[in-house]
């Protein structure tokens, strides 16, 4: 069996394209009332997703947002086939201890109106649909 490799595994989207979609998601968070906050985290924001024998690792410098007394940040989950975006959320202590919860991941390639809906679900502005 082949050892795990750190690489970008997608042919349909580049790392830069995925990051630009995360930028849009962050703009929606601000548009909906989230405030970007400066917090020095005591750890490196690192995401590692395994897809079979491969893994995708990302060190993120993305900002933290505060909304309704909770903290949020935009992250990713790399599934076989395509990457998904996930919004993490939690209390200040959960943020500082890197134990935030994750909202439901959603595909990076949704139309902008669908991305906005996903942000509203993740922030708790609208409930997830029953058939979600």
DSSP collapsed to 3 states, 84-116:
EEEEEEECHHHHHCCCCEECCCEECCCCHHHHH
Do 72 and 65 contact (CB within 8 A), yes or no? yes
Structure pTM? 0.87
Residue with tokens 């998601």: 25
CA distance 127 to 116: 13
From 49-58, 77-86, 105-114, the region with the lowest mean pLDDT: 49-58
Phi, psi of 5 (to 5 degrees): -125, 145
The string of pLDDT tens digits covering residues 3-56 is 444 578 899 999 999 999 999 999 999 999 999 999 988 677 777 766 677 767
Return the pLDDT at 9. Answer: 86
Structure tokens at 83: 């990457």
Structure tokens at 79: 């599934």
> How many Cβ atoms sit within 10 Å of the Cβ of residue 108?
23
CA distance 41 to 88: 15
3 state DSSP class of 21: helix
């Amino acid at each position: 069996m082949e050892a795990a490799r750190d690489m970008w595994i997608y042919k349909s989207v580049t790392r830069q394209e995925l990051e630009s979609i995360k930028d849009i998601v962050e703009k929606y968070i601000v548009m909906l009332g989230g405030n970007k906050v400066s917090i020095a985290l005591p750890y490196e924001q690192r995401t590692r997703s395994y897809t079979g024998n491969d893994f995708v690792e990302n060190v993120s410098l993305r900002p933290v947002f505060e909304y309704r007394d909770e903290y949020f940040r935009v992250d990713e989950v790399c599934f076989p086939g395509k990457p998904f975006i996930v919004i993490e959320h939690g209390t200040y202590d959960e943020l500082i201890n890197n134990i935030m919860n994750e909202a439901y991941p959603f595909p990076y390639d949704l139309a902008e109106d669908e991305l906005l809906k996903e942000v509203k679900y993740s922030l708790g502005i609208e409930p997830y649909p029953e058939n979600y």
